Amino acid sequence: MNPWLDRFAEGLDLDGGLTRDEAAGVLDLAGVTARGAGARQFAPLAAYLAGRAAATRDPAERVELLRRAAEVAGGLGAADEPLGID
């Protein structure tokens, strides 16, 4: 999808990088999370958790999981508590 991201994936010993659909799903999840939680620090952490959940899925299931993750994040509303690790 992108040479830098491909090299990053290689550096992590991942077979293959991101598809365009996966990249769009992660970015959508991050945006929804940052706006919905009311703190942008939640966005990379939510993306990481979604990545952990997607790790064992096939490519089509990963895209669907990212879509569902954005729906879940969008429905949670604002974070009641700060992270406490800033």
Residue 40 lies in a domain: yes
Task: Report the alpha-carbon angle 78-83-85, nearest 5.
Answer: 160
Residue 83 lies in a domain: no
Confidence of residue 60 (pLDDT cuts 50, 70, 90): confident
Residue 13 lies in a domain: no
Yes or no: say if 76 and 36 are a contact pair by the CB < 8 Å rule.
Answer: yes
Yes or no: say if 42 and 1 are a contact pair by the CB < 8 Å rule.
Answer: no
What is the mean pLDDT of the segment spanning 38-48? Answer: 94
Question: Can you give the pLDDT at residue 86?
Answer: 61
Q: How many domains does the chain have?
A: 1
Range of 43's domain?
Answer: 19-76
Question: Can you give the pLDDT at residue 83?
Answer: 86
Give the other-Cβ count within 10 Å of 76's Cβ: 15
Residue 2 lies in a domain: no
**CA separation for the pair 71, 49 (Å, rounded):** 14
